[in-house]
Structure formats: structure tokens, C-alpha cells
Amino acid sequence: MLIFPAIDIIDGKVVRLKKGDYGKVSGYSITPEEAARNFYECGARHLHVVDLDGAASGNAENASTIQKIVKSCEMFVEVGGGIRSFEQIEKYLDCGVKRVILGTVAVKDREFVESAVERFGDAISVGVDAKDDKVAINGWKEVTNIDSIAFCRSMKDLGVNHIIYTDISKDGMLKGANLEIYKVLCQTEYIKITASGGISSLEEIKELKKMGVYGAILGKSLYENKIDLKQAIELAENL
């Protein structure tokens, strides 16, 4: 299993939200580039970056900051937030991003997702953000009536091989991940599942690894020193 330390960005700064609420923001004095370098020095070789401004607006608001992150580290970087055009996908991939995450656009335009997969292959993943098992869009501000598990399985039919599933109610709370939902999702053949939201202990990493989860995203647990990144990587890779 891969460990993806996370960098969430608002106005070019590193932040974490509680339950996806833009009104409950924790800011950190470290710059995004410094955070990336620190993660690399701890042994991380994969990085999850989200443009939270972009997720809300539909535009890549922090693209220049993300480009700086990519240039400052030698990691596999995946990026989400406000990616809703082929042009923006190409810009990110051209600057060194290895995988882009489609969120709101995957809900609103299935044809776009299918075309993106045909065009860019495994460089495309879909981020599924869920609240009470329903898909949320537009920076988590709007909850649809779409069942999140059924939506994940429908993405497989479009050729998507990788899904990042976030339980919004757990995100940023440091109270544990929704392990049960990942047990279900891992039963979906031919889709790699990355767990996101609330992972706050090494024991959870062990459980996710045993389930067959592809990756685990660690955010606030790292910034608040609840999980040691080096230990997490060692457990994920060697368990």
C-alpha cells in the first residue's frame, strides 16, 4: 500500500479543513514547497495535493503554487481541485504532475471522464467525496442524491482504474477513518482504492493494508504529529 501525505491549499497556503467546511480552516506556517520537501525527507515518494480554492470555483486557482511544489520535490504527485478541462489536465501533466483527480466534473459529465481516460489513461483518477454515503460536489458544498458506492462502480465502466474515496464526516477530525466503507469498495474488481479522511493511527494503516487498499492519504494526522510518517510508510510497504 502507498502512503500519500497531503497538502491542501487555500490562497497559496497549507491548510486543513474540518469535515470539508471552508469556515473551519486550520492554517500552518509552513509553505507548500517546504511541506513537500519535509515529506520527502521522511521517506515519502508519493504526494497528494488539492487546490481547495479550485475545488470550490471550478478553476485551477493555485496552479502556480502546485507547479512550484512539483519542481521542489522528486515525488509522484497527484493533483485535484478545479480540474474540469482537457487544457488544465495537459498543463498539470506537462509541468510534471503524474496523475490528476477529477471530482465534480466526473459527476456532471460522464462523457468527459470517458474521453479523458481514453486520452490520458492511468494519469486520470476520480475523487469521490461522500457525506452520508451520498456524493458531494463543488468543493463539498453541495450533496447530491447519488449513492457513492454505486457511483464508484459506474466509474469502472468508463475505464477509470483509480478512485480516491473521502468520507467528509471523518476528514480533518482525527477520530478514525470509515473502515467499513473501504471493505466494501475493495470488493470492486479492477479499481484501485485510495482511502482518505480521518486516518489517525498506525493501526488503521495496518487494517487498510490488509483489506487490499491501494493507497492511504494522511493529512492532519501528520501536521498535528499524531502519526509518524516514516513509521506509516514502513508499515504500509512491509506489512
- The H or E element spanning position 135 is strand 134-137
Selected catalytic residue, list 11, 21, 51, 129: 129
Selected catalytic residue, list 8, 51, 53, 171: 8
Annotation marks residue 167 as catalytic = no
Grid cell digits, residue 239: 506489512
Please count the other Cβ atoms lying within 10 Å of the Cβ belonging to residue 190: 8
Task: Using the Cα atoms of residue 151, residue 48, residue 55 and residue 196 in order, give the sign of their dihedral.
Answer: positive
CA gap 147, 149 in Å, rounded: 6
Phi, psi of 4 (to 5 degrees): -115, 100
Annotation marks residue 11 as catalytic = no
Query: What DSSP character marks residue 59?
Result: S
List active site positions. 8, 129
